[in-house]
Structure 1
Amino acid sequence: MELNEQLVTAIKRKLGELNLSTVALGCQLGLSRRTLDNIFKRGHRKVTPATYKKLSDWLISEYATADQKESQLVATQDK
């Protein structure tokens, strides 16, 4: 499978927002730092289906969690 630039940019942006290192992300996802460095620094875009799934699932769950926290904050402010 091949990662597109928008997905890689979104992952990098979320890493920055969460102040996570590639090592920390690798530990969370079960990916090596080398794999992540190849994607982020060396422009490798062809990855295994398992790596693609781990990265996209992580990104989706992070955005869903952020939306949920924001919704709860708004709900508590209305009270």
Structure 2
Amino acid sequence: MVETTKELTHAIGRKRGELNITVLELSRQTGVSRWTLDKILSGERTSVRVGTIAKLNDWLYKQV
């Protein structure tokens, strides 16, 4: 398990806002469950699997 950072959470929320997509659509694009995303974005969950971080990082750095 790896700790998420406020910076990562903020970056995910920011890009999600820029793309104007729902958590459900973010889940489809990343392969991370919407429940996990909800908890990460709300700050309720800070410890996640390495694979989850990798999927989110891939999505963040993917060219739009």
TM-score by length of 2: 0.89
Gaps of 5+ in 1: 67-79
Aligned length: 63
Identity %: 41
Q: Give the match for residue 61 of structure 2.
A: 60
Query: Are the structure 2 counterparts of residues 42 and 4 from structure 1 closer, same or farther at C-alpha, using a change threshold of 3 Å?
Result: closer
SS of structure 1 residue aligned to 2:12: helix
Higher relative contact order (CA 8 A, sep 6+): 2
**CA RMSD after TM alignment:** 1.1
Query: What is the identity, as a one-letter code, of the residue corresponding to 1:43?
Result: E
Query: Following TM superposition, by how much is the alpha carbon of 1:32 offset from its aligned partner in structure 2, in angstroms?
Result: 1.1
In the TM superposition, structure 1's runs of 4+ consecutive aligned residues that sit over 4 Å from their partners are none
Question: C-alpha displacement at 1:44, in angstroms?
Answer: 0.9
Structure 1 pair 32–40 and aligned structure 2 pair: CA distance change class (3 A): same
- Structure 2, unmatched stretches of 5+, are none
Q: Could you tell me the TM-score, scaled by structure 1's length?
A: 0.73
If each structure's helix is expressed as a fraction of its own residues, which one has the higher value? 1
